[in-house]
A and B are shown apart, each in its own frame.
Chain A
Amino acid sequence: MNLIKQIWAVTAMNVRALPQRAGTSLVTVIGVATVIAVMVSLLAIGQGLLLSVGRNVRADDAVVLSSGTAASYMGSISRTAAAIIGDAPGVATDSAGRPMVSPEALVIVEVTKLNGDSANIGFAGVTPEGRVMNPSLHLIAGRRFRPAVRELIAGRSASGQYRNLKLGDHVTLRGTDWTVVGIFEDNGGQSENALIGDAETVMSAFGRGNFQMVNVRLQSPAAFTRFKDALTSNPQLSVEVRRTAEYTKEQLKPLTSIINFVGYFIGIVMAVGAAFGAVNTMYSAVDARVREIATLRAIGFGGTAVVVSVMVESLLLAIPGALLGVAIAWILFNGRAVSSLGLTFPLAVTPGLFELAIVWALAIGLIGGLAPSIRAANLPVATALRAT
């Protein structure tokens, strides 16, 4: 009890004296804020990517790809195979009793950015039944495409980024002419960066005889194993069955791991620098109070109280630094859209990153306070009292 009282007394004294050392204390705050702002901004890229891609993915979603293909758009699944997949055990049915499967004819098409650069985006042909799969997808302008005519609807993000994808525009894709009849939103998911049309029309326009992949809604997440076993043991099929969430995450892994590596690498190097700065600040804080500390020791305050009080002061400087850093990253970058490797997504400063920032700041504060606090506790009282 006595110890806590002592700690409280010394810490309160330190904190009250903070304004006198505003200059050096500010160095720690700014140092920590910079580290956190840079690191959180970099990591927010990876977070934003994962969030935007995983946005509309449910735990009971599965995807069927033809086996041995590197990318979904290279696959080949025949109409017969698609029908077999729809009849497989574990597939959910809609109110009318039809299986909830959505075979997609997926074509990569070249479009032109507003600045004239070319870019590749996905053009998915879906079947009339397939569209019930994704309830979050809805039109914000225009109407649905009709079958048998070359009409498509464009995602909101694609429509804004590329030429000739506004409502009513005519666009040439791989030598075929299409009319944009609608613009859709999908809760911020990646499909907003793509085009959607009728499966049969897409297949005939681009000379495809087969679907490229099949999206499946399962009865429950647990039905996955049953569904997968039924398909992989069927000799008529040569397919790979994956949970959609796992599949998308895996596809993005190379990209997110590079981004995270860069974020943590730069974060660590900068944190080392900031820690030196924090040590400096706390040394001068201790230096400035040599006589006060010696007086406290002389009248019976323990070493522990002094150590803890210095550590607390160091942490008190680091935490505002972290808050400031996260705030800067949030104001500058949260929600700002970036494009990389054909994906467009907003940066996301998530609660997880906020926690990470606090942890890093505490670590920097602890390291910064450690040596100075021990020095403060070990001051020879008599000499220190004579110090000027």
Chain B
Amino acid sequence: MKFLPLIWAGIWRKPGRAVLTLLSVVNAFLLFGVLQGFASGLNHAVAETHADVLLTLSRISTEPLPVGQLDQIKRVQGVRATMPMVPVISTYRTPTQIVPAEAIDPAQVLAVDPGLTIPQAMIHALQRDRTGAIVSRVLANRFGWKVGDRVPLRALNVANRDGSPTWPVDIVGVFSSSGGTLFKNAMLINFDYVDQGRTTNGGTAPVFVVRIDDPHQAGPIAASIDKLFANSANETKTATVRQIAQNNLKQIGDIGLVINAIVAAVFFALLFLVGALMMQSVRERTPELAVLKTLGFTDGGLMGLILAESLTFCLVSAAIGLGLAAMLFPVARRLIGFNIQAGPLMLTGFALAIGLALISGLPPAIRAMRLQVVDALAGR
């Protein structure tokens, strides 16, 4: 600890150079934090889904299933509640303002989604008003909606009876959602309103939500639901929300691999950057280091000193970069509802910083260690 001032002075020997390198390294750790935070947010979103909620979809893509099938599903042993759901993907004022509206059955929605916390009164309000809609706090904040507003949704996938894509809805409630619900960022509207108002696919839904009693029975129950409709015109594919979320992520591609590749590339460049800084600094300090050796510093001690310098530098940069990234995490939660686990991410970040410091600090440290006092002082 008593060497800390010496180490600190060594780092700030050329303040301009140190600050520039520091900014580079901080920048890299910020990028690392944001990318890994994104990956961890995705994983967390998958992990917090409920294991006792199944979705039944058409075996083929997004074709609608007749709601009559729900009666049969309800009779399957272990099924607690069912609900048809029609995603009405809509836009608000501009085509980029996406509103994920879900046409659902208000009487069943609390029964099928254990993660949803909506007061019973708000459910009643939705049931009373055919064109009613309740929206999540996230969505209400994004578009500045409040109770009583009339919102003309422009549906991308469901046409209204008059052939137009417009579905006017009235906001009757705003709900706060925690993690683990199907409807975290959604707007909920009445299934009946959409079903009776549309021109095609009446009496069908592309998604059935099925709540079961025992999460451990998810596999067998899903299999028996699919068996009910095997070889019929409307074959189904049932899986837990978690499995479907994992599958969807896989469909996009190996996100983790891409992120790791980018981080690896960035840190590869950093090795050279920090290495060059340390090497330059050691080279310029040759006489000073020789003096330290004359004063009694051992070879190992000098090597340790240089490594400690590199280590301090990298850890400070990492702390700043990761700190900046952590400041962005609450923003991510507010905007996209991402819950990022900062702890493990910070640990990986600091481990990377230590690795970076040791690898890039080693060549200059060895140079300092091998310094011959006589030669160095003579400027040879």
A residues neighboring B (CB under 8 Å): 23-24, 26-27, 30-31, 33-35, 37-38, 67-68, 70, 73, 107-110, 117, 120, 174-175, 207, 238, 266, 269-270, 272-274, 276-277, 279-280, 283-284, 338-342
Give chain A residues whose Cβ lies under 8 Å from the Cβ of B199: 68
Q: Does B60 contact A (CB under 8 A)?
A: yes
Q: Assuming the A-B contacts A27-B273, A27-B276, A174-B60, are A276 and B27 also in contact, with contact meaning beta carbons closer than 8 angstroms in the complex?
A: yes
Give chain A residues whose Cβ lies under 8 Å from the Cβ of B253: 338-340
Bound CA span A340–B23, Å: 36
Residue of B nearest to A275 (CB): B24
The answer to whether A284 and B17 have CB atoms under 8 Å apart is yes
Residue of B nearest to A24 (CB): B276
Q: Does B94 contact A (CB under 8 A)?
A: no
The answer to whether B250 and A283 have CB atoms under 8 Å apart is no
Bound CA span A207–B232, Å: 12
The answer to whether A27 and B272 have CB atoms under 8 Å apart is yes
Bound CA span A207–B17, Å: 73
The answer to whether B16 and A283 have CB atoms under 8 Å apart is yes
Bound CA span A35–B27, Å: 13
Q: Does B292 contact A (CB under 8 A)?
A: no
Interface centre among A37, A68, A274 (most CB of B within 10 A): A68
The answer to whether A31 and B272 have CB atoms under 8 Å apart is yes
Min distance, Cβ A299 to any Cβ of chain B, angstroms: 28
The answer to whether A342 and B251 have CB atoms under 8 Å apart is yes
Give chain B residues whose Cβ lies under 8 Å from the Cβ of A272: 27
The answer to whether A269 and B61 have CB atoms under 8 Å apart is no
Give chain B residues whose Cβ lies under 8 Å from the Cβ of A266: 31, 35, 262
- Count class of interface residues, chain B: 35 or more
Q: Does B280 contact A (CB under 8 A)?
A: yes
The answer to whether A109 and B60 have CB atoms under 8 Å apart is yes
Q: Assuming the A-B contacts A23-B276, A37-B265, are A280 and B165 also in contact, with contact meaning beta carbons closer than 8 angstroms in the complex?
A: no
B98-118: contact bitstring with A at CB < 8 Å (1 yes, 0 no)?
000000000000000000000
The answer to whether A108 and B61 have CB atoms under 8 Å apart is yes
Q: How many A-B residue pairs have CB under 8 A?
A: 105
Partner among A35, A120, A238, A273 whose Cβ is within 8 Å of the Cβ of B60: A120
Q: Does B156 contact A (CB under 8 A)?
A: yes
The answer to whether A280 and B272 have CB atoms under 8 Å apart is no
- A selection of 20 A-B contacts at a CB cut-off of 8 Å is A23-B279, A27-B276, A30-B272, A31-B24, A31-B272, A38-B266, A67-B163, A68-B159, A68-B165, A70-B156, A110-B61, A120-B61, A174-B60, A174-B235, A175-B235, A273-B23, A273-B27, A274-B24, A339-B253, A340-B252
Give chain A residues whose Cβ lies under 8 Å from the Cβ of B265: 34, 37-38
Bound CA span A338–B273, Å: 33
Q: Assuming the A-B contacts A31-B272, A34-B269, are A276 and B157 also in contact, with contact meaning beta carbons closer than 8 angstroms in the complex?
A: no
Min distance, Cβ A169 to any Cβ of chain B, angstroms: 20
Q: Assuming the A-B contacts A276-B23, A283-B17, are A34 and B268 also in contact, with contact meaning beta carbons closer than 8 angstroms in the complex?
A: yes
The answer to whether B157 and A31 have CB atoms under 8 Å apart is no
Give chain B residues whose Cβ lies under 8 Å from the Cβ of A26: 272, 276
Residue of B nearest to A332 (CB): B261
Q: Which of B5-28 contact A (CB under 8 A)?
A: 16-17, 20-21, 23-24, 27-28
The answer to whether B272 and A270 have CB atoms under 8 Å apart is no
Q: Which of B156-171 contact A (CB under 8 A)?
A: 156-157, 159, 163, 165
The answer to whether B252 and A341 have CB atoms under 8 Å apart is yes
Give chain A residues whose Cβ lies under 8 Å from the Cβ of B266: 34, 38, 270, 273
Bound CA span A37–B264, Å: 12
The answer to whether B21 and A276 have CB atoms under 8 Å apart is yes
Partner among B61, B89, B233, B269 whose Cβ is within 8 Å of the Cβ of A207: B233
Min distance, Cβ B195 to any Cβ of chain A, angstroms: 17
B228-258: contact bitstring with A at CB < 8 Å (1 yes, 0 no)?
0001010100000000000100111100000
The answer to whether A277 and B60 have CB atoms under 8 Å apart is no
Give chain A residues whose Cβ lies under 8 Å from the Cβ of B157: 70
Residue of B nearest to A281 (CB): B276
Partner among B252, B269, B276 whose Cβ is within 8 Å of the Cβ of A274: B269
Q: Does B59 contact A (CB under 8 A)?
A: yes
Give chain A residues whose Cβ lies under 8 Å from the Cβ of B262: 38, 266
Q: Does B30 contact A (CB under 8 A)?
A: yes
The answer to whether B269 and A31 have CB atoms under 8 Å apart is yes
Interface centre among B24, B199, B233 (most CB of A within 10 A): B24
Give chain B residues whose Cβ lies under 8 Å from the Cβ of A273: 23-24, 27-28, 31, 266, 269
Min distance, Cβ A83 to any Cβ of chain B, angstroms: 23
Residue of A nearest to B268 (CB): A34
Give chain A residues whose Cβ lies under 8 Å from the Cβ of B280: 23-24, 284
Give chain B residues whose Cβ lies under 8 Å from the Cβ of A107: 60
Bound CA span A30–B275, Å: 13
Bound CA span A207–B235, Å: 14
Give chain B residues whose Cβ lies under 8 Å from the Cβ of A174: 59-60, 235
Give chain A residues whose Cβ lies under 8 Å from the Cβ of B269: 30-31, 33-35, 273-274, 277
The answer to whether A269 and B27 have CB atoms under 8 Å apart is yes
Bound CA span A328–B247, Å: 31
Give chain A residues whose Cβ lies under 8 Å from the Cβ of B163: 67-68, 238
Bound CA span A68–B160, Å: 10
Min distance, Cβ B94 to any Cβ of chain A, angstroms: 14
Bound CA span A24–B126, Å: 67
Min distance, Cβ A374 to any Cβ of chain B, angstroms: 13
The 8 A-B pairs at the shortest CB distance, nearest first, are namely: A273-B27, A34-B269, A70-B157, A68-B159, A276-B24, A108-B61, A280-B20, A27-B276
Min distance, Cβ B251 to any Cβ of chain A, angstroms: 6
Min distance, Cβ A269 to any Cβ of chain B, angstroms: 5
Bound CA span A269–B265, Å: 13
Q: Which of B29-83 contact A (CB under 8 A)?
A: 30-31, 34-35, 59-61, 63
B303-327: contact bitstring with A at CB < 8 Å (1 yes, 0 no)?
0000000000000000000000000
Bound CA span A23–B276, Å: 7
The answer to whether B30 and A110 have CB atoms under 8 Å apart is no
Min distance, Cβ A272 to any Cβ of chain B, angstroms: 6
The answer to whether A277 and B31 have CB atoms under 8 Å apart is no
Interface centre among B27, B247, B252 (most CB of A within 10 A): B27
Bound CA span A340–B258, Å: 13
The answer to whether A279 and B20 have CB atoms under 8 Å apart is yes
Give chain B residues whose Cβ lies under 8 Å from the Cβ of A35: 269
Bound CA span A109–B58, Å: 11
Give chain B residues whose Cβ lies under 8 Å from the Cβ of A270: 27, 31, 266
Besides the contacts A26-B276, A73-B61, A277-B21, what 12 more A-B pairs have beta carbons closer than 8 Å? A23-B276, A31-B272, A31-B273, A38-B265, A207-B233, A273-B27, A273-B28, A273-B266, A277-B24, A280-B277, A283-B16, A341-B251
Bound CA span A68–B156, Å: 8
